[in-house]
Amino acid sequence: MKKISNRIFLLSLLVIVVAGCQKEIPQKNNSLQNVISKVSDKSDYYSDGKMLIFKDSEIYSKLVSHELDNNLRLAFEKTILEMEHLTYFEKIKKDAVQDLIEDDFLSKILNEDRIVQIGPFIYKISLIDSSVFVLPAENIEEYGDLVNENIENENIRVYSTFENVIELAESGVESQKKSLFCSDKYAKARYESSCGNSIYIGGLTSLVFDCRIRYAAAGIFFNLKAWANTFEHGLGSTLESDQLVYYSNTNVNTTLRIDAERKYKERCSAETSWYWWSTSGNGAGNGITAQSYQGSKGLNKYWLKVNFYFWNGTNWVRIPPAGDWYPGYHRGITNGY
């Protein structure tokens, strides 16, 4: 009788443990499903035929964060490009106009007028004069004034691209100087174009390396990254003429690598510790990117150190091979440290 009781007790305990384990699985799946739904659920973001509209700033912040899984990000971008409105990304490709944003991801979020609606406000980005123009969505009939940056319209407010514009607009604050949110300063934008090195291939052709590091501030979008690509550059003849002309070919298959180390502090948040990582891939086209930070809130300070390499068929060779910006790293950007 005692043995039977013990068996019943053990079976009961096993059922409880199994049931407990089964309860954990849906919680994890639900958490993942919640993230996926932000990409696939058309009620969270959609097009009105003129621009992309996010239901609220929380959804927008999650979708633009560097913490979003890369496959989900690609699915998100694909969905945007299939919408009815013309994105700024498509406009610069179609009309071959000057790129005033210089970030493919942000260019896909913005429409042809560099405008997007997030929650109850419509935002226009103007990096040329470091301004973000904001119009309440309830005044959509004044869209033309927003496009033309008409500051005489009393419904249009103007912020700096270095400010956390979404937070300020939704709180009704005119300027961060008048805000009681946080006393942290805004980190300044930095742009570093390095490499510029080339390798002689033969004849009149060289393989050129283009390496860049940047902290960009767009008011509703902030980005800290390094990227690199390669292209052939030289003199060659065309089919129409025997005369030599300069040409560039970006479809050059080369293997590049970026080693990076970074730390940063988001405004009004805790500072991160140093983090090292490496990424490699084909240098053709847009090349490879080492994404350090991306989000809807600006940084208070940052430090990004990088080395660029190419594979010569036998070894990884640093580009350029000599000179350090910081011990062990050839290039980097910092502000606030």
pTM for this model (two decimals)? 0.80
Amino acid (one-letter) located at 157: R
Q: Where are the domains of the chain?
A: 47-178, 190-335
Q: Report pLDDT for 182.
A: 72
% residues pLDDT > 90 (the chain): 59
Q: What is the pLDDT of residues 198-243, one digit of tens each?
A: 766 666 677 888 899 999 999 999 999 999 998 877 765 444 545 5
The residue ranges of DSSP E strands in the chain, in sequence order, are 45-47, 52-54, 115-118, 121-126, 131-136, 157-160, 190-202, 205-217, 222-237, 244-249, 255-266, 275-282, 288-295, 299-311, 316-319, 331-335
Which tokens in the block code for residue 226?
């390094």
Per-residue pLDDT, averaged over 249-255, amounts to 79
Q: Report pLDDT for 328.
A: 86
In DSSP notation, 252-298 reads: ---EEEEEEEEEEEETTSPBPPPEEEEEEEE-STT-EEEEEEEESS-
Please, which pLDDT band fits residue 14 given cuts at 50, 70 and 90? very low
Per-residue pLDDT, averaged over 57-83, amounts to 94
Q: Report pLDDT for 181.
A: 59
